[in-house]
Amino acid sequence: MMEITLTHYLVLSTVLFSIGLIGVMRRKNLLMLFFATEILLNSVNIALVAISHFYGDFTGQMFAFFIIAIAASEVAVGLGLLVLWFKRFNTIDLDNMTSMKG
Amino acid sequence: MFEAAAFYLFAFLTISMFWITVTTKHALYALTALAAGMIFISAFFFILEADFMGVVQLIVYSGAVMALYAFGMMFYDTTRELHEKQGNNTLVFLLSGISALIVVAMVAAPLVGGNVEAHYPIVEGVGNSQAIGMVLFTKYLVPFEVAAVMLLVAMIAGIVMAGKKMDESFSELSEDEIDTKNAEVIS
Amino acid sequence: MEMYLYIALFAPLVGSLTAGLFGASKKTLFTGVFASGMLFASFISSLLLLVQVLQGNTYHVEMMTWIATGGLYVPFGFVVNSVTVTMMMVVTTVSTVVHVYAIGYMDHDKAFNRFFAYLSAFVFSMMVLVMSDNLLGLFIGWEGVGVCSWLLIGFWYHKESATWAANEAFIMNRIADLAMLVGIFTLYWNLGTISYEGIFASVGTADHTMLVVAAAFLFVGAMGKSAQFPLHTWLADAMEGPTPVSALIHAATMVTAGVYLVVRMNPLYDLVPEVGIVIASLGAFVAMFAASMALVNRDMKRIIAYSTLSQLGYMFVAAGLGAYWVALFHLMAHAFFKALLFLGAGNVMHAMSDELDPFKMGGLGKVMPGTFWMMTLASIALAGFFPFAGFFSKDLILEVAFVGHHPILYTVLLLTAGLTAFYSFRLAFLIFTGEERYKLFGFHPHEAYKYMLVAMSPLLVLAIIAGFLFKGTYYEMVTAMLPAGEYHVHNPIVYWIMTIGTQLFVGGAVLYAWIKYKNAKVDKKVEAGFFYQLLFNQYYIPKIYDEVFSKPYAELSKMFWKLDNAVVDATVDGIAGVFYGTAKKTHTMQDGNLSSMLKWMVVGLVALLVSAAVFIGVVTNADVIMKLLGH
């Protein structure tokens, strides 16, 4: 228990990922949904960097770095869209966004 | 030992922060908890001797991204509680639980053996930032440039989508015109 | 020379297809003229081939391969030898005459073009039947004439009686065709070939029982086509079709296909004389049977149809007794005068606005002299008076029966000859002589178009001269292929007694008809009599068929239809229903709500994870699992 191995980090990452999944499934507010998505991305980052550390390979850190970059741009675009939607419909409740009904 | 203590402490904190984020009814609490969680994750990066990643996490995530979300929060009356029509909670927890269980089982079992070859091995002796710089600007140069372009595009997209009319500038309008504008907006 | 073969074969098809192009349009005279022209080309080609065959040449072409699988090789092959060319001449002559006649007969019909398409298609099928060099090609032609006959009998398809008659004809033929197929299969199975050459070469050494079976089944097939008892009811009902159709198909060509089959397969039938006796007996029975029904009938075309049936019986007697060339000769002569009779009847029908009861006519000889003379001369030929064609063919069959020592057959045929003369002249006298009963019913008859009479005249000429002019040449030509039996009664006294006696007997019958019918008195007491009713209702055979076969079969079909609905339809609908039900229940999955879609995404993810875990577990512990399973 004292020795922190890769497994610990991976278990941590899994737990955080499942918390993110809970958030994704439960939240009905679009903004809250974005928060949950961030959690998912972060948990993956942890896992990548941990693997990189324990195997002595920089690939994991590079990957995590790019994930951060992408997450940032995603937030920018996503919030832009959210603002537009709010201006039009005055609500960001997911239950009202069902125009893609199949 | 320090490492173990730090790990468990920050693990506990991160999990509880993120749990608050996904379950609280107050939007502001969720935002705050998320920001805290980001910071604690950067702690993990420092433990793992990925200094550059830790700093980037702090600057980009808990700095820029959280600021973005904070601006997004303007669309709320943040004193009000979120009323979310809840679906089937049991199902949600069950699904997540099962997936967590399975993946934990997968990673906990001593599966993958030893001979994983490192493509870009960590160079001893240099600092982490320097080493990352050596890899980033040689082997990962193209993705780096592409990411830069992508960020530029995202920025422009954000401005265009959310911005007001660009051809008018308040600083060049006279007082009367500003007043009429305000009157329109208010009415 | 082969070119003429192809012209003779395919010219009718060209005419048919061209007419078919205009099938849905209004009447265009061009189609009739073109079809007749094509038929005439076919006739000329057949004539040229006849000249060649008379000099002893035969032609055998193989147009292309049809079936070449395993050991079975069946080509589209055609052969022209003496038997073929005789049939070709008969078919093309009568067809050309009927085509030209039909231009006038169908003058006012809306479906003029369609008629010529069907008629020429029929001639093409008949040519395929006659010219084919193997049994399967013959079968194609066989079916082709069946289909065209169906199309033509039911030509006026709005009339329910016509469509019913067409179906009856086709279905009865089909029943017989099943037997014919069995016969063909028997031959192929045992001899390994279905071409005539192959069969005739190997039939000498084959098993006798097999040959009997094959011959019997082939004859059953011929029975359907040539309307022998018990498959005869369709021929009388087939008179629903237009008269040119009756003249071509049900007098001269299709119904003689059965006789042609027996004649063509003569090496086979020579080896099984017991089947031949059965054929001959059946033929004689049919001859008498049909003649009896024609005695009292009040439908003009039906009388002539029964006459055809009767003469077919004569042909089968000859074929059954081994006198194949005699049967073929009678086939040829009969085609001419029977077609002439039908065409004349068509003229009368046209004049009397499709009235068929001769008791409503009378004295038409004054108004329609041309038709009167043609029908009378045709009837004389049919009755068998010297020197018309009928004498040389029909009396020859009587001689065959006599010489072969078949007294019963001879007597039956002789009596039938008398009956034939009686009813033919009954018809002629009722229509053309006596008082003009038609005036009572308000008809205004007129003679047919000049060109129609002109078209009929070749048949008249042939009916008169075919006997004494052609017999010698024909005999020499045909006995190259068919067994050359000399059926002369050697004792000249017996011969002259027979011949003169027959002529007197027939003449007496004609006289009797004249006495009875020149004034056309209808005897009510006789009409109510038992025999009269029996004959008038065709021995009640159609009714029997209806009760015994048709009605139970219809009930059975209805029962099976219910079963089909319940089982098959239900199954198919059930499958569709499953799909619908599933769709109804699961389409709520796509409600456009992002949250629920995310939930479904996670469900999918969990499913994948579970399957991955199971897979990994199985793979890594494969040896343990195999041990558990006991290997």
Two tokens, residue C298: 């009040």
Within an 8 Å CB–CB cutoff, is residue C599 touching chain A? yes
Contact (CB<8Å) C592/A94 = no
Rounded to the nearest 5 degrees, what angle is found at the Cα of C211, between the Cα atoms of C210 and C212?
90
Q: Give the pLDDT confidence of B44-54 residue by residue, as tens digits.
A: 999 998 889 99
CA-based nearest residue to C312, from C279, C287, C340, C337: C287
Q: Give the pLDDT confidence of A15-30 residue by residue, as tens digits.
A: 999 999 999 988 888 8
Chain C: give the shortest CA distance to residue B64, in Å.
Answer: 27
Task: Examine the pLDDT at B99 and tell me if it is beyond 80.
Answer: yes
Give me the phi and psi of C61, to 5 degrees please: -120, 150
Task: Examine the pLDDT at C274 and tell me if it is beyond 60.
Answer: yes
Which residues of chain B lie closer than 8 angstroms to C606, CB-CB?
A: 95, 98-99, 102
- Pick from C224-233, C271-280, C388-397 the range whose average pLDDT is largest: C271-280
Within an 8 Å CB–CB cutoff, is residue B20 touching chain A? no
The runs of H, that is alpha helices, within chain B are 2-23, 27-47, 51-56, 66-72, 89-108, 128-136, 141-162, 175-186
Radius of gyration of chain C (CA): 31
| pLDDT, average across residues C536-554 | 84
For the four alpha carbons of C421, C424, C428 and C431, in that order, the dihedral sign comes to positive
Q: Which residue has the higher pLDDT, C68 or B40?
A: B40
Least confident of A78-87, B84-93, B104-113, C227-236: B104-113
Contact (CB<8Å) C590/A102 = yes
CA-based nearest residue to C87, from C253, C248, C225, C318: C253
Task: Examine the pLDDT at A39 and tell me if it is beyond 90.
Answer: yes
CA distances from C212 to C180, C195, C317, C455 (A): 13, 19, 18, 45
* pLDDT for C543: 82
Least confident of B4-18, C154-168, C359-373, C489-503: C489-503
- B41, B103, B122 member nearest A56 (Cβ): B122
Q: How many residues does chain C have?
A: 631
The torsion region of residue C368 among left (phi > 0), alpha (psi -120 to 50) and beta comes to beta
B114: confidence class by pLDDT, cuts 50, 70, 90: low
Average of per-residue pLDDT values in chain C: 85
Determine the residue type at C629.
L
Which residues of chain B lie closer than 8 angstroms to A56, CB-CB?
A: 118, 121-122
B126: confidence class by pLDDT, cuts 50, 70, 90: low
| pLDDT, average across residues B125-144 | 84
Rounded to the nearest 5 degrees, what angle is found at the Cα of B161, between the Cα atoms of B158 and B165?
120
- B119, B131, B143 member nearest A66 (Cβ): B143
* pLDDT for B19: 94
Task: Examine the pLDDT at C9 and tell me if it is beyond 80.
Answer: yes
Contact (CB<8Å) A69/B71 = no
Rounded to 10°, the helix A30-55/A59-89 angle is 180
- A36, A65, A73 member nearest B154 (Cβ): A73
Which residues of chain C lie closer than 8 angstroms to B111, CB-CB?
A: 616
Burial class (CB in 10 A: 0-12, 13-18, 19+), C212: middle
C64: confidence class by pLDDT, cuts 50, 70, 90: confident
| pLDDT, average across residues C133-146 | 91
C128: confidence class by pLDDT, cuts 50, 70, 90: very high
Task: Examine the pLDDT at C524 and tell me if it is beyond 80.
Answer: no
Q: Does the structure's ipTM exceed the value 0.95?
A: no
Chain A: give the shortest CA distance to residue C601, in Å.
Answer: 9
SS3 C71: coil
Which DSSP helix (H) or strand (E) runs through C80?
strand C72-80
As a whole-number percent, the residues of chain C with pLDDT over 90 amount to: 18
B148: confidence class by pLDDT, cuts 50, 70, 90: very high
Q: Which residue has the higher pLDDT, C71 or B14?
A: B14
As a whole-number percent, the residues of chain B with pLDDT over 70 amount to: 78
B160: confidence class by pLDDT, cuts 50, 70, 90: confident
* pLDDT for B75: 67
C67: confidence class by pLDDT, cuts 50, 70, 90: confident
CA distances from C17 to C13, C33, C95, C312, C585 (A): 6, 14, 17, 32, 56
* pLDDT for B57: 93
The answer to whether the CB of A42 falls within 8 A of the CB of B39 is no
| pLDDT, average across residues C577-606 | 87
Average of per-residue pLDDT values in chain B: 82
* pLDDT for B163: 72
The DSSP symbol for A95 reads G
The runs of H, that is alpha helices, within C352-387 are 364-367, 369-383
Contact (CB<8Å) A35/B154 = no
Q: Is the peptide bond before C552 cis (omega within 30 degrees of 0)?
A: no
Contact (CB<8Å) C595/B87 = yes
C-alpha torsion angle, residues C318, C188, C131, C77 (rounded to 10) = -160
Q: Which residue has the higher pLDDT, C241 or B185?
A: C241
* pLDDT for A59: 87
Within an 8 Å CB–CB cutoff, is residue A22 touching chain C? no
Determine the residue type at B39.
I
Two tokens, residue C631: 């290997």
| pLDDT, average across residues A71-89 | 87
